Structure 1
Amino acid sequence: MFAAYVTVTIVAAFLDGSAAVTYLIGHDYPKAMVRMKRLPLWWMPLLGSLLAAGSIGLLVGFAVPWLGTLAAVGLVLYFAGALVAHLRVGSRKLAGWAVFTSVAVATLVLDLAAT
């Protein structure tokens, strides 16, 4: 069980960290997603920072378990908000959301099971 927790947590940290970088550098894809969801572009650094904090928190969770749990909860809530943003504008392009959310939920479940 612990090996699965470590593996999924590292994958989640990598995915969320990569997404954070794209938001923070202002890549075109996240800009298009923010525009599609009718959110202001000035939210991009905030969204990227939240993803970065979640990613770092997951890795810090190996040393301080309760921080990892909080980071996993935060990421699950972040992606719940992303779903609301998609549905609010009628977007049904949820494949990316499903991958990120599945990994975040798996990380949270395995984190709770490992502690």
Structure 2
Amino acid sequence: MFIGYLVASVLLALILIGSAIGKLRRADAVVQNLDRAAVPHGWYPWLATAELAGALGLLAGLAYRPLGTAAAAGLTLYFIGAVAAHLKAGDRNGLGPASFLLFLSIAAGVLSVLS
């Protein structure tokens, strides 16, 4: 189980770091995706901070499991919000990636408890 937890946590952390950098740099693809979900531009730094905190929590959780479990729980809530925002805005294009990251967050949390 630990290998699954390791893979899920590292993969999710890398994706989150890339996403946070995209938000902070206002990358065109990221801005277009968030605009379709009607996310205010002023939220980008806060969302990027939450993603970076989640990524660091997942990585630190490899050494101290309760922190990884807490980070995965927080990220699950974060991505429930992302899925809800895409659904509310009627954005079907952004729904897939947000749903995948929600699933990966849940998997990291479950695997952290089981391993």
Q: Tell me the TM-score normalized by structure 2.
A: 0.92
The amino acid that maps onto 1:5 is: Y
Deviation at 1:82, TM superposition (A): 0.4
The residue that corresponds to 2:63 in the other structure is 63
Query: Aligned residue for 1:91?
Result: 91
Deviations 1:14-66 (Å, cap 9, x if unpaired)?
11111111112211112112221222101111111111110010001122221
Q: Where does 1:12-51 land on structure 2 (aligned, <5 Å)?
A: 12-51=12-51
Identity %: 34
- Give the number of aligned pairs: 114
Aligned twin of 1:113? 114
C-alpha RMSD over aligned residues: 1.2
* TM-score normalised over the length of structure 1: 0.92
3-state secondary structure, aligned to 2:62: coil
Partner of 2:73: 73
Runs (4+) of structure 1 moved beyond 6 Å?
none
Q: Structure 2: any 5+ residue segments left out of the alignment? A: none
Confirm or deny: 8 A CA contact 1:54 1:74 kept in the other structure. yes
